[in-house]
Amino acid sequence: MYRCLSNEALASLGEYRGVAEALFPAGGFSPGPGLKAVADFAKALGTGSEYQRIFALKKDDESVRVFLGHFQNNLDLLIQKTWVEKADEARKEKLQDEIPPLIALIERGDFLPAIEKFGQVLDELAYLFFGTQSAKEDFTEYTFRIDPQLGLFWWYGSRLVGLKDTGKEGALRDESLWALLLIGLCYLTNF
């Protein structure tokens, strides 16, 4: 399966596998005890310090709003700079229209719907970056061959689609969902 990967990439996959399995064990993501796993995953993606800085803030802190503005600006730039066929230009515009509602969900603290919308944004962004390859079964493996951290990020994105509500209510659930979402926000803000 990974025969095209270098020895260094294979070693990275081994390290990343443990981090990935801790974040999304066989039963799925679990709020609460998963906070350390989320922080470890952010570190594996190379965004650990940014993740820790933002996660330590209150969600209504002005610095979080500034961070979300940077996220939106960087995502807009990524979308605009993506070369696509003329027929796909409308997809780029539609994706850019999806970002403000995502930001609004985050600012309201509606993290489960925000995660769902973010997963949809990532699916469309993957298409803009990689074309029809993004819909193939081996897409994550393909991105791992490009760069192990990039592959880990797209693997993470694939786990967000269809994430189910754990039924655990309250601050612990919201904190965990915010932590899970923040991984992707930090990665794309610094992409």
pLDDT of residue 2: 39
Q: In the chain, which residue ranges form alpha helices assigned H by DSSP?
A: 7-23, 35-44, 48-55, 62-81, 89-108, 111-130, 139-146, 148-160, 171-189
Looking at the chain, the whole-number percentage of residues with pLDDT higher than 70 is 82
Q: How far apart are the first and last CA of the chain?
A: 27
Q: How much is the pLDDT for 6? A: 45
pLDDT in tens, 130-161: 999 999 999 988 998 899 899 999 989 888 87
Core vs surface per residue 111-135: b (16+ CB within 10 A) or e: bbebbbbbbebbbbbbbbbbeeebe
Give the pLDDT band (50/70/90) at residue 3. very low
| pLDDT band, residue 171 (cuts 50/70/90) | low
Q: What is the pTM of this model?
A: 0.85
Residue 28: the pLDDT is: 67
Question: Cα–Cα distance between 21 and 162 in angstroms, integer?
Answer: 17
Which pLDDT score, from 0 to 100, does residue 24 have?
76
Q: DSSP assignment, residue 103? A: H
